[in-house]
């Protein structure tokens, strides 16, 4: 011990070195720490000794020393990475393969039996699941087509050609619908939002599928819940359906309701298909794959109202057909940018055409509206 | 290295432990089982330096008594505790140091081969100067060699090495002590010429400012709050606020993680603040006034924090 003026005695070099090297027993360490707290001289000695020791040690030892000594709990966490990675891989496999197997199963209708709450249509679905739902949703409405339904368009002809083969709609009674609502009102083909990434399936394939009764019931309940405020038995169920179909009601449902007579009166001879890209939840039959445009390009967006059919091809040209797709004429360009979407807005009806509008949207998000499909004004 | 043992010094091998009273040696020797002694003897390789088992046992007994086997002063040491303490010693280093202190030539050769260059490098690193570093290392080397004579007996600082830490660490710490002592000594010594040049005409003596009662109460509250802190907390405050060490440096010093130091400091300052407010309230201040007193300009306070942190532990080094 060296007497100094600051403190009576200093720890010897052996104690200070043992403190630096963490070689002191608890009681001795406590004494050294208490001394160091008040002795700047010994703290300087310790700093110097420690810095010199670190300078003499290999760099990797100095760098890893604090981490190794203080993170024993973290080292244990490293062992968790292996099982965590395996679990993540297993989860990924389940996510990828489970929907496929479910979609391929003929028991798809079990997903939403009549007594259970239907899966929320708001959630995005894998393509395979979407196909299954499309099939389940499209078919039940076909029997509702009245016998007078005879679309002149080629696309509608395809539907007509397949429909009798699948179900003799004229002889079949209409399925139960919500009170005060004729099933003819839902005489539209429904498909969930978002088209599959691949080319759209031919219409025939869409109507050939025969759903199980459960799926038909689920579909019917969805229609009822969407179109009728009084429909649906369970409050929770109706809430979920109403939330899911909220957008659909504000766009296409209203369109359907306006376009279709409330009674089972004969429909106009032209098809009453609606826009294929308009609504998030309910869409009309996808006509894009069956339309033959004069440009020879594929249609990227189509809309129809009464006897008018509009289509945008891949180059952005807009075509209008007044005869359900037999003859097309190019609509003069009255917009800027590249048109990417055409759709019919609610209120477009046979009796009051002016009340409804067609909307064209370009790639910049700007919208042009038209009532006849030929004259467009910017919104 | 400037100094080498060119002339082997004839030193009695028993010098290193001669200071230990004989009455202490015997009970320890008796208490140490032969099996343990043999085990430690083999581990230390003491025979290479001509140390007998008896001398080796005396060295161990001396170290064990001086450190009380690592326990608190006055604690009764059990044989198991003593055995654990002895097994934890750096026996090869301890034996080498004692052999060197005793003037064993072979030990010195081994010591020079092992530690001459590291000692020189450490001295240069501490002083940031090769010249000063060589001087510092040379002086220490002379001391270690036992050139200092006290009471007619050559003494070497190596005798004070007890094997708790490594010998190279002990050498570095001893170097650091010498260097720090030298710096502190020379800083106090200002040449008279420089001091005379730097003198300015004496300014008017300011009127003594009598600290207000509030400031005095705040000073007492801070002092009492610091008194209640543990030794480690006071060390943390000293190291961080007085010495200005970084969190990383403190973490390496205390062998904890940097985040732990940060968390402890934050908690400590919060507790101190609360404790000071409580102390002020106890002294008669309202809570609002106590909180406002914390915003006092530190320059208005006549406090010596260094002194406040120098609270000697009950069993201080003596």
pLDDT higher than threshold 50 for residue B82: yes
Nearest CA to A43 among B173, B140, B317?
Answer: B173
Q: Which has the minimum average pLDDT: A240-244, A325-329, B141-145, B303-307? A: A240-244
Can you tell me the distance from the alpha carbon of A348 to that of A345, in angstroms, rounded to the nearest whole number?
Answer: 7
> What token pair was written down for A21?
């090297």
Q: Do B164 and A48 touch (CB under 8 A)?
A: no
If asked whether residues A247 and A301 sit together in one domain, one would say no
The region, left, alpha or beta by phi > 0 then psi within -120 to 50, assigned to residue B244 is left
- The answer to whether residue A316 is domain-embedded is yes
Q: Do A69 and B245 touch (CB under 8 A)?
A: no
If asked whether residues A136 and A243 sit together in one domain, one would say yes
| Smallest CA–CA distance from B233 into chain A, residue | A37
Residue B1 and residue B133 in contact, taking contact as beta carbons nearer than 8 Å:
no
- The answer to whether residue A90 is domain-embedded is no
Q: How confident is the model over B53-74, as a mean pLDDT?
A: 85
Q: Do B253 and A50 touch (CB under 8 A)?
A: yes
Highest-confidence range of A279-288, B174-183, B193-202, by mean pLDDT? Answer: B174-183
- Domain boundary pick from A61, A77, A93: A77
- Domain boundary pick from A270, A300, A328: A270
pTM exceeds 0.80: no
What is the pLDDT at residue A289? 59
If asked whether residues A167 and A19 sit together in one domain, one would say no
Q: Do A71 and B257 touch (CB under 8 A)?
A: yes
What is the pLDDT at residue B318? 45
Query: The domain that contains A339 carries what CATH number?
Result: 2.40.10.500
What is the pLDDT at residue B185? 84
The rounded percent of chain B whose pLDDT value lies above 70 is 77
Residue spans of the domains in chain B: they are: 15-98, 102-183, 213-309
If asked whether residues A146 and A46 sit together in one domain, one would say no
User: CA A302, A306, A308: angle at the middle one, nearest 5?
Assistant: 50
Q: In B100-112, which positions are buried (b, 16+ CB within 10 angstroms) versus exposed (e)? A: bbbbbeebbebbb
Can you tell me the distance from the alpha carbon of A124 to that of B250, in angstroms, rounded to the nearest whole number?
Answer: 53
If asked whether residues A230 and A122 sit together in one domain, one would say yes
Which of the two residues, B153 and A231, has the higher pLDDT score?
B153
Under CATH, to which class is B213-309 assigned?
mainly alpha
Residue B119 and residue B175 in contact, taking contact as beta carbons nearer than 8 Å:
yes
Can you tell me the distance from the alpha carbon of B177 to that of B184, in angstroms, rounded to the nearest whole number?
Answer: 10
If asked whether residues A297 and A178 sit together in one domain, one would say no
Confidence label for B197 from pLDDT (cuts 50, 70 and 90): low
If asked whether residues A114 and A226 sit together in one domain, one would say yes
pLDDT higher than threshold 90 for residue B265: yes
Q: B231 — contact with chain A (CB < 8 Å)? A: yes
If asked whether residues A214 and A266 sit together in one domain, one would say yes
**pLDDT tens, B233-258?**
989 999 998 899 999 999 988 889 99
Q: What is the DSSP letter of A362?
A: E
- The answer to whether residue A3 is domain-embedded is no
- 3-state secondary structure (DSSP) of residue A321: strand
What is the pLDDT at residue B61? 87
Instruction: Tell me which residue range forms the domain holding A355.
Output: 291-379
Q: Do B235 and A41 touch (CB under 8 A)?
A: no
If asked whether residues A238 and A313 sit together in one domain, one would say no
Report chain B residues whose CB lies below 8 A from the CB of A34. Answer: 231, 234-235, 311-313, 316
What is the pLDDT at residue B311? 62
What is the pLDDT at residue A77? 53
If asked whether residues A379 and A332 sit together in one domain, one would say yes
Q: How confident is the model over B79-107, as a mean pLDDT?
A: 89
Nearest CB to B169 within list A30, A53, A69: A53
- Domain boundary pick from A270, A300, A318: A270
- The answer to whether residue A7 is domain-embedded is no
Q: A63 — contact with chain B (CB < 8 Å)? A: no
Return mean pLDDT, chain B: 79
Q: A43 — contact with chain B (CB < 8 Å)? A: yes
Confidence label for B203 from pLDDT (cuts 50, 70 and 90): low
- The answer to whether residue A356 is domain-embedded is yes
> What token pair was written down for A135?
């099939």
What is the pLDDT at residue A1? 45
- The answer to whether residue A4 is domain-embedded is no
Measure the N-to-C terminal CA separation of chain B; round to a whole number of Å.
35
Residue B303 and residue B222 in contact, taking contact as beta carbons nearer than 8 Å:
yes
What is the pLDDT at residue A103? 53
Report chain A residues whose CB lies below 8 A from the CB of B180. Answer: 41, 44-45, 48
Q: B33-40: long-range contacts at Cβ-Cβ below 8 A with a sequence spacing of 24 or more? A: B33/B79, B33/B83, B36/B83, B36/B86, B39/B87, B40/B86, B40/B87, B40/B91
Residues of chain A with pLDDT under 70: 1-8, 57-80, 99-290, 306, 346-356
Number of domains, chain A: 3
Report chain B residues whose CB lies below 8 A from the CB of A63. Answer: none
- The answer to whether residue A260 is domain-embedded is yes
- The answer to whether residue A8 is domain-embedded is no
Q: B117 — contact with chain A (CB < 8 Å)? A: no
Nearest CB to B160 within list A14, A35, A67: A14
If asked whether residues A249 and A306 sit together in one domain, one would say no
pLDDT higher than threshold 90 for residue B21: no
If asked whether residues A110 and A226 sit together in one domain, one would say yes
Q: Do B253 and A69 touch (CB under 8 A)?
A: no
Confidence label for B200 from pLDDT (cuts 50, 70 and 90): low
């Amino acid at each position: 011990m060296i007497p100094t003026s600051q403190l009576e005695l200093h720890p010897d070099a052996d104690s200070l070195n043992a403190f630096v090297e963490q070689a002191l027993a608890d009681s001795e360490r406590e004494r050294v720490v208490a001394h160091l707290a008040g002795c700047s001289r010994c703290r300087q000695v310790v700093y110097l000794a420690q810095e010199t020791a670190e300078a003499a040690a290999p760099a990797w030892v100095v760098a890893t020393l604090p981490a190794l000594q203080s993170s024993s709990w973290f080292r244990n966490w490293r062992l968790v990475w292996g099982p965590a990675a395996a679990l993540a891989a297993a989860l990924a496999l389940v996510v990828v393969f489970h929907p496929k197997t479910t979609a391929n199963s003929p028991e798809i209708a079990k997903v939403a039996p009549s007594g259970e709450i239907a899966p929320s249509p708001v959630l995005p679905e894998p393509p395979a699941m979407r196909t299954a739902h499309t099939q389940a949703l499209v078919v039940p409405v076909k029997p509702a087509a009245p016998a007078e339904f005879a679309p002149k368009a080629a696309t509608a002809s395809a539907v007509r050609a397949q429909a009798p083969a699948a179900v003799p709609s004229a002889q079949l009674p209409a399925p139960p619908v919500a009170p005060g609502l004729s099933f003819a009102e839902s005489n539209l083909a429904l498909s969930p939002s978002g088209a599959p990434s691949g080319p759209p399936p031919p219409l025939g394939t869409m109507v050939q599928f025969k759903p199980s009764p459960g799926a038909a019931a689920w579909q019917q309940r969805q229609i009822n819940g969407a179109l009728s405020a009084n429909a649906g038995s369970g409050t929770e169920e109706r809430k979920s359906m109403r939330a899911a179909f909220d957008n659909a009601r504000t766009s296409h449902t209203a369109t359907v309701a306006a376009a279709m007579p409330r009674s089972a009166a004969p429909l106009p001879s032209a098809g009453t298909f609606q826009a294929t890209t308009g609504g998030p939840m309910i869409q009309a039959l996808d006509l894009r794959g069956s339309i033959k445009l004069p440009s020879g390009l594929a249609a990227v967006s189509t809309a129809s109202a009464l006897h008018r059919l509009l289509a945008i091809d891949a180059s952005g040209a807009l075509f209008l057909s007044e005869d359900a797709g037999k003859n097309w004429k190019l609509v003069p360009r009255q917009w800027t940018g590249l048109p990417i979407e055409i759709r019919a807005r609610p209120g477009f009806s046979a009796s009051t055409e002016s009340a409804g509008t067609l909307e064209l949207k370009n790639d910049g998000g700007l919208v042009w509206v038209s009532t006849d499909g030929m004259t467009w004004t910017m919104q | 290295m400037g100094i080498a043992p060119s002339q082997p010094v004839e030193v009695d091998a028993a010098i290193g432990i001669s200071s230990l009273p004989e009455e202490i040696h015997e009970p320890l020797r008796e208490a140490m089982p032969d099996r343990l002694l043999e085990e430690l003897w083999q581990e230390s390789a003491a025979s290479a330096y001509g140390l007998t088992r008896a001398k080796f046992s005396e060295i161990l007994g001396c170290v064990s008594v001086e450190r009380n086997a690592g326990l608190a002063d006055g604690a009764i040491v059990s044989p198991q505790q003593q055995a654990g303490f002895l097994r934890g010693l750096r026996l090869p280093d301890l034996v080498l140091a004692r052999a060197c202190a005793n003037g064993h030539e072979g030990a010195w050769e081994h010591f020079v081969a092992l530690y001459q260059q590291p000692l020189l490098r450490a001295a240069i690193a501490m002083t940031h100067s090769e010249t000063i570093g060589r001087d510092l290392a040379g002086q220490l080397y002379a001391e270690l060699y036992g050139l200092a004579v006290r009471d007619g007996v050559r003494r070497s600082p190596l005798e004070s090495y007890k094997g708790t830490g490594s010998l190279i660490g002990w050498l570095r710490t001893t170097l650091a002590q010498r260097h720090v002592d030298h710096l502190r000594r020379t800083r106090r010594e200002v040449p008279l010429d420089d001091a005379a040049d730097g003198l300015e005409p004496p300014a008017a003596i300011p009127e003594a400012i009598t600290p207000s009662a509030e400031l005095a109460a705040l000073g007492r509250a801070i002092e009492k709050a610091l008194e209640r802190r543990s030794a480690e907390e006071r060390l943390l405050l000293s190291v961080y606020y007085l010495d200005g060490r970084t969190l990383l440096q403190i973490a390496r010093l205390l062998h904890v993680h940097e985040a732990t130091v940060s968390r402890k400091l934050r908690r400590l300052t919060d507790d101190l603040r609360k404790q000071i407010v409580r102390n002020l309230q106890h002294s008669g201040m309202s809570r609002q006034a106590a909180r406002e007193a914390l915003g006092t300009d530190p320059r208005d306070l006549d406090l010596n924090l260094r002194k406040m942190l120098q609270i000697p532990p009950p069993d201080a080094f003596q």
